[in-house]
Amino acid sequence: MTPVWSVPEVVPFVARLAGVRPDFGNCRTMAVLDKNGGMVAGIVFHNWSPEHGVIEISAAAVTPKWATRAVLNTALDYVFAHCQMAVARIAEDNLQARRLWKGLGATEHILPRLRGRTANEAILMLTDDAWAQSKLKRQDHG
């Protein structure tokens, strides 16, 4: 899997798969390409608050194989070069995405009805300290 920065097609790709509007505003994107050059995942970095050092991440994929150590390190090293915390808003029933974030060291809060009258949303927050202590990062640096 190969990460590629600033691919415009990432925004509609992520929005379509995540079931959200493609209005991420001022954002940076990263596509994840398979060995044939097809986009299998996209990440949108948006809602950056430089004064607080916080950025939101929205991502979607057609296969879980996109989440390699190298791809995750590329994405999160970018985030933590600029921020002290990354935030993701994930549907409560998206157990795979929630498991990935928690595996990276994120803390989770479930907010009732944030996705409408009948759907809850998980807010996951990953700090730079938690990322530095994560298994993924620690193995990167011995």
Q: pLDDT tens digit string along 23-40?
A: 999 999 999 999 999 999
For residues 116-140, one letter each, b for 16 or more C-beta atoms within 10 angstroms of the residue's C-beta and e for the rest, the string is eeeeebbbbbbbbebbeebeebeee
Q: pLDDT tens digit string along 38-74?
A: 999 999 999 999 999 999 999 999 999 999 999 999 9
Query: What is the model's pLDDT at position 115?
Result: 85
Contact 139, 75 (CB under 8 A): no
Average pLDDT across the chain, whole number: 93
What CA–CA distance (Å, rounded) separates 136 from 128?
A: 13
What CA–CA distance (Å, rounded) separates 86 from 31?
A: 18
Query: What is the model's pLDDT at position 140?
Result: 52
When pLDDT is averaged across residues 79-99 and rounded to a whole number, the result is 95
Sequence-separated (6 or more) residues with CB below 8 Å from residue 106: 88, 124, 125, 126, 130
pTM of the entire structure? 0.91
